[in-house]
A and B are shown apart, each in its own frame.
Chain A
Amino acid sequence: MSTTIAQNRSFGAALWDYLTTVDHKKIGILYLVSGGFFFLLGGLEAMAIRIQLIKPANDFVSAGFYNQILTMHGTTMIFLAAMPLIFALMNAVVPLQIGARDVAFPFLNALGFWLFLAGGLILNASWFLGGAPDAGWTAYAPLSTTSPGHGVDFYVLGLQISGAGTLIAGINFLVTIVNMRAPGMTYMRMPLFTWTTFVVSALILFAFPALTVGLFLLMFDRLFGSGFFDASMGGNSVIWEHLFWIFGHPEVYILILPAFGVFSEILPVFSKKRLFGYTAMVFATVLIGFLGFMVWAHHMFTVGLGPAANSIFAVATMAIAVPTGIKIFNWLFTLWGGNITINTAMLYSLSFIPTFTIGGMTGVMLAAAAADYQFHDTYFVVAHFHYVIVGGVVFGIFAGLHYWWPRMFGKILDEKLGKLTFWTFFIGFHLTFFIQHFLGLMGMPRRYWTFLPDQGLDTGNLISTIGAFLMAFGTIVFVINVIVTSVKGEKVGGDPWDGRTLEWAIANPTPHYNFKQTPLVRGLDAFWIEKMDGRKEMTPAEPVDDIHMPNSSILPFIMALGLFIAGFGFIYQVDNSAWLAAVFIGMGILLGCMFIRSVKDDHGYHIHKEDLDKGAGL
């Protein structure tokens, strides 16, 4: 009996530990678990879409429900799966890569996570409360402003809250990378994943406020009777499209650049060569980020902006192919003549290159404004963005998880199951989406509930659905792999891949203060340089001393809870003004927590140097 009590208490203690943690490694795991959950949810929605389209005139789901599924599939995958999974990798790796003991704002880092989770839960609560949003993930007005029920309200509040979390996370990473680098870690010695994180955080900083404003306007229109997008009050729905895409296009680069960073880490390690053209890679990353802000209107070619505007945005869009091409060639040259090891992480990286190139090529095709009038809103577009987002971002996340799993959990994911996942997912992916290019060219519009028989679309859709099942199989195998590895897998040392960057210079498991002594960085691929000089560890930049650590706090969780409550209040106050109480209570909780945070001094605590060796296993 005593053992069960001990176990219960330890479970409670672990739960409390994760609820209050400000440790970037644990926050990374939180992001991974919740992002993974939403990824499976979004995948389930994808399967429903593909089953509905398996044959002409199918009625697996009703038309209205189909709209909800397809809206939630897009929204979930972008905001609740891809972004958090990328944040998981960033949190797990970036502070280690720059030789930092923690992030710049540990408290805000935790707050960012809980806000994201609160937003995601609000969004998905809609399934049980009268129907999910059904206006597409782009929520174009006036479709979104006139959509009946509360579905779109959940979209607005959910994204607003999780967007605030993302913005906070972005600022945290910017400051972390600027201020917390180890001695000697100059900007041009930062690993590429850190560089892409830096650029992506800047994109988040400048892109998300536009979404914030757009969502506020939509919320005011739907819930408080304003007329921004209501033509009968003099409003203009094109405002929403601009605001959404001023955010939305940088968002695409926010997703793909970290994936580029992951591949730029994996390819050199498993080719036993330094990354080819490091400087060019850095500048290409910055350039992509920069150009990413000048191309949003290519999503709006058919709105009628006029030939001048369309041409400018078309040319700017095509220009992005140049820095991206630089990257592709640099990856190829990194491989060239290398001593290549093929494992699961490497398989994803190798297959990413041709897959993403196809996606980029269709991107240039779509950028031709005149041709886009034909492609617009067809399955050609669907095929294009799945090639870049699945073939780029999801492959990147899988590759990054296989590569950094030993860093995060001390064990290597099972290679056999990993390769099974890879091959089924890879083949399934191309089967699903390659054919959709042709479905689109034959005129099949996106987002339609069903299609008619004998229009040449039957076989293509059947093949596409078969591919989707293969992808689902691969994903299930990955989940099994995670379970099997965590139960049976053997602990490995701190540097299982013979790595080049700082995160591999730490013993396994990573101590919660990361580095006992801050390392001295002597060049690019800091750990590799030390290895080449015959050392097994980094040269320390400081004597062993007391280590300053931040205090844990439950406040981030409570603040997110406050906004969660307020969110429901905002949504339901149109039906019954008593719900305004929920708004006041929720916002009161939020402001109260901010007040406590501001009033209570938080100096953190010190780990004394005598205790360092004892506590190393923590």
Chain B
Amino acid sequence: MSNDTLNPKVMPEEPEKATLEGKNKFLGFWFFLGGETVLFASLFGTFLALRNSTNGGPSSQELFGLDLVFIMTMLLLTSSLTSVVAIYQMKKNNFAKMQAWLAITVILGFGFLSLEIYEFYEYITLEDFTFRSSAFGSAFYTLVGFHGGHVLFGLLWILTLMIRNAKRGLNLYNAPKFYVASLYWHFIDVVWVFIFTVVYLMGVI
């Protein structure tokens, strides 16, 4: 019975908000993002307060290079666009294309994450700059690591959704799930915009 109402022939204009569950998810997730804003603000604040407390270790000017960060930024910005296109295809009820664009998003995301891990690895092995070397180190790895953790979670989430629904296609039950996951992905990008500005660009100056 519920399958008919959840699988209409033509998708409504906003499939993510067509059911009460969808509306609840949509709103609840936006509210959650409001809370996440404060979470990251607290981490940014801590970082800003401690960014010069190098305790004799390497400073941000000595550590950071911009090449890698620039590539990471481009990867993440592009992945934000590809997930927008995926949602655009979802609204057109074009499941195969949505999956394809999400797949690109995930690949770009994994690219970003690998580069971040590589960056951390270099700092730790070559520069001897660790989580425990100074308050600056603690704050840097905590802020950027929290973001990285969000990226990883977002990737696993989108992948789960893709694999889970690969055979059954798009319906009004899973459309809100895809939509909310893409919101999460954009939010990760929003945080990164501030990280590359506040942590890296301002750290290099």
Contacts and interface: CB of A to CB of B under 8 A. Distances in A.
A178 B26 CA distance: 12
B142 A216 contact: yes
A206 B136 contact: no
B173 A601 contact: yes
Interface stretch (B45-53, B104-112, B182-190): B45-53
28 contacts: A104-B28, A171-B31, A206-B35, A208-B35, A209-B42, A210-B42, A213-B39, A214-B42, A216-B142, A217-B46, A217-B142, A225-B132, A226-B132, A226-B135, A227-B135, A227-B138, A228-B46, A228-B50, A228-B139, A233-B135, A234-B54, A234-B134, A239-B45, A239-B46, A239-B50, A246-B42, A598-B177, A603-B6
B7 to A, nearest CB: 12
Interface residues of B, number: 39
A206 B34 contact: yes
Interface in A212-241: 212-214, 216-217, 220-221, 224-228, 230, 232-236, 239
Contacts of B36: 209
B31 A104 contact: no
B31 A234 contact: no
B131 interface: yes
A179 interface: yes
A528 to B, nearest CB: 29
A227 B55 contact: yes
Most buried by A among B1, B2, B31, B54: B31
A603 B28 CA distance: 18
Contacts of B39: 209-210, 212-213
B46 A227 contact: no
B205 interface: no
B27 A178 contact: yes
Interface string B26-70: 011001101110110011011001100111000000000000000
Nearest to B160: A598
Nearest to A606: B1
A599 B160 contact: yes
Interface in B155-176: 157, 160-161, 164, 173
Nearest to A108: B28
A239 B31 contact: no
Interface string A438-458: 000000000000000000000
Contacts of A606: 1
Nearest to A599: B164
Contacts of A175: 24, 27-28, 31
Contact of A205 (B20, B27, B35, B160): B35
A172 interface: yes
Interface in B50-101: 50, 53-55
B44 to A, nearest CB: 10
A599 B167 CA distance: 13
A213 B157 CA distance: 23
Interchain residue pairs A-B with the least CB separation, the first 7? A234-B53, A226-B138, A209-B39, A213-B42, A234-B135, A235-B135, A209-B38
Contacts of B135: 226-228, 230, 233-236
Contact of A236 (B31, B53, B142, B164): B53
Nearest to A208: B35
A171 B23 CA distance: 14
Interface of B: 1-2, 6, 20, 23-24, 27-28, 31-32, 34-36, 38-39, 42-43, 45-46, 49-50, 53-55, 131-132, 134-139, 142, 157, 160-161, 164, 173, 177
A174 interface: yes
A235 B42 contact: no
A174 B31 contact: yes
B173 A603 contact: yes
Given A228-B138, A234-B134, A171 B160 contact: no
Given A227-B134, A228-B135, A598 B49 contact: no
Interface residues of A, number: 43
B164 A167 contact: no
A243 B50 CA distance: 14
Contacts of B23: 179
B161 A598 contact: yes
A358 B36 CA distance: 37
Given A228-B138, A598-B177, 8 more contacts: A171-B32, A172-B28, A174-B27, A179-B23, A207-B38, A224-B132, A230-B135, A232-B55
B142 A234 contact: no
A601 B177 CA distance: 12
Given A171-B35, A205-B35, A235 B138 contact: yes
A595 interface: yes
Contacts of A423: none
Contacts of A206: 34-35, 38
Given A226-B142, A603-B2, A205 B42 contact: no
A494 B23 CA distance: 32
A105 interface: yes
A205 B34 contact: yes
B32 to A, nearest CB: 6
Most buried by B among A221, A225, A227, A228: A227
A105 B54 contact: no
Nearest to B2: A603
A242 B50 CA distance: 14
A241 to B, nearest CB: 12
B134 A233 contact: yes
Interface in A136-182: 167, 171-172, 174-175, 178-179
Contacts of B35: 167, 171, 205-206, 208-209
A217 B45 CA distance: 12
A545 B189 CA distance: 45
A603 B139 CA distance: 43
A182 B28 CA distance: 19
Contacts of B132: 224-227
Contacts of B20: 179
A207 B39 CA distance: 9
A156 to B, nearest CB: 15
